[in-house]
Amino acid sequence: MERFSKIQKEEYCLYANKGGPVIGAGPAMEKYILIIEGFAFKDLNRNGKLDPYEDWRLPIEERVADLAARMSIDEIAGLMLYSAHQAIAKVNPLAAMMYTGQDQKDTREHIWDLTEAQKKFLIEDNLRHVLVAMIDDAPSAARWNNQAQALTESLGLGIPINISSDPRHTPVATAEFDMGSGGDISVWPDTLGLAATFDPALVRRFGEVASREYRAMGITTALSPQIDLATEPRWWRFAGTFGEGVKLSEDLARAYCDGFQTSEGEREIGGGWGYDSVNAMAKHWPGGGTGEAGRDAHFGHGKYAVYPGKGFEEHLKPFINGAFKLEGKTGKAAAVMPYYTVSWGIDQKYGENVGNSYSKYIITDLLREKYGYDGVVCTDWLITADPGPIDLFIGGKCWGVENLSVAERHYKVLMAGVDQFGGNNEKAPVLEAFAMGVRDHGEEFMQNRFRTSAKRLLLNIFRTGLFENPYLDAEESRAIAGNAEFVKAGYEAQVKSVVLLKNADKVLPLAPSTKVYIPKRHINAGTNFLGFPMPAQDIDPIDHRIVAEYFHVVDEPEQADCAFCFIASPNGAAYSKDAGYLPLSLQYRPYTAQNARAKNIGGTDDRSYQGKTGTVSNEPDLDLVLDTKKKLGQKPVIVFVQTRNPFVAAEFEKSADAILLNFAVESRALMDLAAGKAEPSALLPFQMPRDMETVETQSEDIARDLIPYTDAVGNSWDFAFGLNWQGVINDERVTKYR
């Protein structure tokens, strides 16, 4: 007697087992459905019998062990790959980066069709982990997922694809991958904005919502949370962190992972894992927020993490006390990503100064043995490739092992204890690394080494239910992603993330009759995050139609009751071809680093910038505020700052009657606050520096060691400072985290 019902879909077929899971099968798999005791099972390897890994009645660990034992070294090498960035989009501005070295001819009829390059790495290289960076909409992502899953289901052992994404829920992405946002989903503040709420429950809710939307697009691994303790205020990736509060970062890391990974009720398979679960990949072990002088390791000029304050252990806490100690049943983050940096001088056992993924001390001795982490460890992207120019984003980041061959780098990573290679579509160097290991340690040792990683990688695929049903209904995906409930929750979080720093004479909130002047914003020519040139431009910083829903917008300052100035925190460069190393400035006017170190800590070459002058591309933002204040005289000027890093506000604070910091929010969230439709409640998740001297003399690895700025009314802009309509906030969040 059959104990299942069959449901035919356009692209696949479902077999709903009574009291068991729903089995999804692509067109080629339908003839390989096994009926055992009336239940439906997939014969993934098409051998005519039910093998343990195919039996959904067995414990997942038993299934994982069986499948890992069946895999060839060639198949495991493919499982160890994590693809370069892929796009399910009509417009793909980064195709050259995503498909480097491959045929870029686009043969697709629809954006959800597989490219020739994708077919190649799935079929020939056995790749099963795909990073999707750009998605136009959820239905297209669902259809792409179905095509890819049907293909791999018909190959070899039938292992499904684990699709991942960088963070994609912010309206103006401030992480390194601007293409990561979007896909018709709910909109939330970026990670630093979530931190500004000081609310773990809100962050957990974000994880719950984001995981549902991810699963609707076929995504089962989040390349997040970024839980680097942000102790260096100049760091390029500061905006992607939870700030510089140790306890706050611990609590928010835990909440984030619990939200993403936990399935409940009928959606749970076991141990908290299930069909709503998304594997969280906590990054970047052992903490990337200590880049020397704020430089970032995506670039050759930012290789080194330094610890002049002996604060290395503090940077581990968001991992060991947060992401590795969850409240939910999943227990710990499913995966960890080390950062590119060379943690200078930390390895006193082997004496190596190499990128963290190459370091046996960082990965095996600390992460695996001392702290007992047994999940997946995946390198950051392109660490095994040869480096490009020192000042460009594109290129390999093989810091500390530039002298090794590509295959030797893979081998060193494996021997350090890492499981997976980010940004590598080709299995050949992994197989070469296996041969090197056989030469040095013997066949049995390397077989065991590869199968250990295979088990970790397979576990994350099994626990999310992909072996039973990886398929998606495109219309159901459309209904889930960006539904009204999720959109409302995201918008409320945006409003809660905006920090009111100043409100002189309680100028805010404004009456609906207020006449508002909004000057254009000038942006100097500069470079984007890839190091490519960007032209100068004059822009309207906000859609005037949105402001007009709240206030009266006027064209001339003489007509206005007040002005809105929209600016961004200073955006400087750490290196130039002409001047070499430069000070990364957090002030708008040119800054000369008289008090910088005469000698750098990391590396052996001369990287000092003492006496050099740094500039920022958006210096006109300062002039915008100062000039607007001159034009308005005694009328108030309200300044909205899109904030990536702490910055020196002393240059314009006295010319601003109100200052609001935001961390990637929609314009309406700002207007709701300005109009008093909502009350500000956010707190600073970092210190605002008094000046560049305190920035220059602080230690890159020590939290909250700046001298905070004190404003014209006597408020100190320290960690956990913020205002509401009544004045300085002093609630239980301040007590707990300050």
As given in the structure block, the two tokens for residue 639 are: 């300044």
Neighbours of 479 (CB within 10 A): 13
Model pLDDT for residues 519-541, shown as the tens digit of each residue: 999 988 876 666 667 788 899 99
Cα separation, 463 vs 278, in Å, equals: 9
| Confidence at residue 530, expressed as pLDDT on a 0 to 100 scale | 62
pLDDT band at 175 (very low <50, low <70, confident <90, very high): very low
- Of all residues in the chain, the percent with pLDDT exceeding 90 is 90
**Section 675-699 average pLDDT:** 98
Is the pLDDT confidence value at 470 over 70?
yes
Closest to 249 (Cα-Cα) out of 266, 267, 233, 226: 226
Both tokens assigned to 680: 């500000």
Average pLDDT over residues 338-353: 98
Q: For residues 79 and 459, what is the distance between their CA atoms, to the nearest angstrom?
A: 12
Tell me what the mean pLDDT of segment 47-71 comes to: 98
CA angle 674, 677, 683 (to 5 degrees): 65
pTM: 0.96
315 burial level (CB within 10 Å; 0-12, 13-18, 19+): buried
Mean pLDDT, the chain, whole residue set? 94
| Angle of helix 428-441 versus helix 443-462 axis, rounded to 10 | 140
pLDDT tens-place string over residues 546-593: 999 999 999 999 999 999 999 999 999 999 999 999 999 999 999 999
Rounded-to-integer distance, Cα 349 and Cα 594, Å: 37
Residue 174 has a pLDDT of 41
> Is 80 exceeded by the pLDDT of residue 176?
no
Binned at pLDDT 50, 70 and 90, residue 667 comes out as: very high
Token pair, residue 393, equals: 């984003």
Give the N- to C-terminal CA distance of the chain in Å, as an integer: 64
Token readout for 471 is 């398929």
Token pair recorded at residue 676: 């008093």
Distance from CA of residue 539 to its chain's centroid? 28
Most confident of 97-106, 389-398, 456-465: 456-465
Cis preceding-peptide flag for 512 (omega within 30 of 0): no
Residue 318: both structure tokens together = 């968001």
In the chain, domain spans: 4-54
pLDDT of 467 > 70? The answer is yes
- List pLDDT tens digits, range 8-34: 999 999 999 999 999 999 999 999 999
> C-alpha distances in angstroms, 528 versus 114, 189, 302, 523, 685?
30, 21, 16, 12, 26
Q: What gap in Å lies between CA 151 and CA 145, rounded to an integer?
A: 10
DSSP bridge partners of 41: 34
d(CA 142, CA 35): 28
Residue 709 has pLDDT above 50, yes or no: yes
Residue 412 pLDDT greater than 60, yes or no: yes
Local structure of residue 629 (DSSP, 8 states):
H
- CA-to-CA separations, 578 to 109, 582, 618, in angstroms, rounded: 46, 10, 20
- High-pLDDT (> 70) share of the chain, %: 96
Residue 394, pLDDT score = 81
**pLDDT tens, position by position, 248-293:** 999 999 999 999 999 999 999 999 999 999 999 999 999 999 999 9
Q: Give the tens place of pLDDT for each residue, 424-451.
A: 999 999 999 999 999 999 999 999 999 9
